[in-house]
Amino acid sequence: MKRRIVVALRPVSPVERLLSVGASLCRRMEAELEVLADPARPDWAELEVRLAALEQDGVVCRLTPAPGLDARRVVEHARRHECVTSVVVGRPAAWAKEGGDPWSKLECPLVAASDHPNLPEEP
């Protein structure tokens, strides 16, 4: 079974930053990249083009439609697929609208790709 890194995109996520972090992890871990995103995103076609470019650079990619994506659904997706070795998001706290800590049920590492003081705040 091939390892998989999941990148979950909110409509306001820093796409380039998250894809860069996800692809780097894939290269280091010899894993595939799966991007979860709402297919209603206006940049859906651009995501497909970006993932095709990563494929040409040697990263196996898939774009998974996830309408109404929220933290709970990301965690459920990761738990359903035992090959998921890490989940990459922008700012974990920005996902937690429903209260509590939805990430506490995640059984693999959570990577906060934009929780860095030199990066802009993700709403």
| Mean pLDDT, the chain, whole residue set | 89
14 domain residue, yes or no? yes
Q: What is the CATH number of the domain that holds 48?
A: 3.40.50.620
CA angle 42, 94, 4 (to 5 degrees): 70
121 domain residue, yes or no? no
53 domain residue, yes or no? yes
N-terminal to C-terminal alpha carbon distance within the chain: 36
117 domain residue, yes or no? no
13 domain residue, yes or no? yes
31 domain residue, yes or no? yes
Question: Which residue range forms the structural domain that includes residue 92?
Answer: 4-112
Higher pLDDT, 7 or 116: 7
pLDDT for 95: 80
122 domain residue, yes or no? no
Question: What are the tens digits of pLDDT across the range 3-62?
Answer: 999 999 988 888 999 999 999 999 999 999 999 999 999 999 999 999 999 999 999 999
Two structure tokens written together for 47: 């995501």
Number of separate domains in the chain: 1
pLDDT for 22: 97
